[in-house]
């Protein structure tokens, strides 16, 4: 399938022809440029992984939220230690995901 990038805002359209107007910024069809096959394949290949990274990011944010509630509950030092570690590790992993996604975007893998 062909891919078209809006030269105004970067929105990517999947289809045989560009859309009449960009759903994101309203630019007309003439503003769309077809993405080369090689780059289109890269976008398609990385879409699944990017989706997984976003899903993992959401789960890690939820883990941090649950852990904050556990820390506040403060049953005993063992539990508090686990909840604190979970929050810290979650934050590191979320920042790693953000950096990885930024790298993907920079390489056109988005
Ligand atoms: Zn646009």
Could you tell me if 53 and 28 lie in one domain? Answer: no
Task: Tell me which residue of 9, 22, 20, 16 sits closest to 40, measured CA to CA.
Answer: 16
Does residue 107 carry a pLDDT above 90? no
Could you tell me if 55 and 83 lie in one domain? Answer: yes
Cα(32) to centroid of ligand 1, in Å? 8
> Which residues are placed with Cβ below 5 angstroms of ligand 1, an ion?
6, 8-9, 11, 22, 24-25, 27
Question: What count of Cα atoms within 13 Å lies in the side-chain half-sphere of residue 62?
Answer: 6
* CA atoms of 57 and 2, how far apart (whole Å): 30
Could you tell me if 27 and 56 lie in one domain? Answer: no
Supply 42's token pair: 């890269």
Cα(17) to centroid of ligand 1, in Å? 15
Give mean pLDDT, residues 83-96.
98
Question: For residue 28, which phi and psi values (nearest 5 degrees)?
Answer: -70, 165
Q: How confident is the model at residue 24 (pLDDT cuts 50, 70, 90)?
A: very high
* pTM of the model as a whole: 0.81
40 falls within a domain:
no
Cα(43) to centroid of ligand 1, in Å? 18
Q: What value, to the nearest 5°, has the Cα angle with vertex 43 and ends 38 and 48? A: 135
89 falls within a domain:
yes
Could you tell me if 24 and 53 lie in one domain? Answer: no
């Amino acid at each position: 399938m062909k891919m078209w990038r809006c030269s105004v805002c970067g929105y990517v359209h999947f289809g045989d022809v560009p859309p009449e107007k960009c759903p994101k910024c309203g630019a007309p069809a003439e503003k769309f440029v077809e993405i080369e096959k090689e780059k289109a394949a890269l976008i398609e290949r990385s879409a699944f992984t990017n989706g997984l990274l976003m899903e993992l990011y959401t789960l890690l944010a939820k883990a941090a939220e649950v852990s904050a509630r556990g820390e506040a509950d403060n049953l005993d030092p063992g539990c508090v230690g686990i909840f604190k570690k979970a929050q810290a590790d979650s934050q590191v992993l979320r920042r790693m995901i953000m950096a990885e996604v930024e790298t993907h975007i920079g390489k056109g893998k988005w």
